[in-house]
């Protein structure tokens, strides 16, 4: 996983991993969530990839737009 830059300084996201049709996100509680083209869908996954790369806005986007609509939790 790649560290999340957290440019805002207050994100709950600490790391992410991008795949062709998914993104895995590690939160500060240690849980890793996988979001894929099935859940929550391509549009959301691609937007989360953009935000992860930018290092800003990912946690807010997840809480406001995606919620608990994830594919897997580990």
pLDDT in tens, the chain (74 residues): 999 999 989 999 999 999 999 999 999 999 999 999 999 999 999 999 999 999 999 999 999 999 999 999 99
CB 66 within 8 A of CB 57: no
Tell me, what's the pLDDT at 34?
Answer: 98
State residue 22's pLDDT score.
98
Beta carbons of 34 and 67 less than 8 angstroms apart: no
């Amino acid at each position: 996983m790649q560290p999340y830059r957290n440019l805002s300084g207050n994100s709950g996201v600490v790391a992410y991993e991008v795949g062709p049709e998914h993104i895995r996100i590690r939160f500060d509680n240690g849980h890793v969530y996988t979001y894929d083209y099935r859940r929550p869908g391509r549009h959301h996954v691609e937007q989360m990839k953009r935000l992860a790369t930018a290092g800003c806005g990912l946690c807010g986007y997840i809480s406001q737009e995606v919620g608990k609509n994830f594919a897997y939790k580990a």
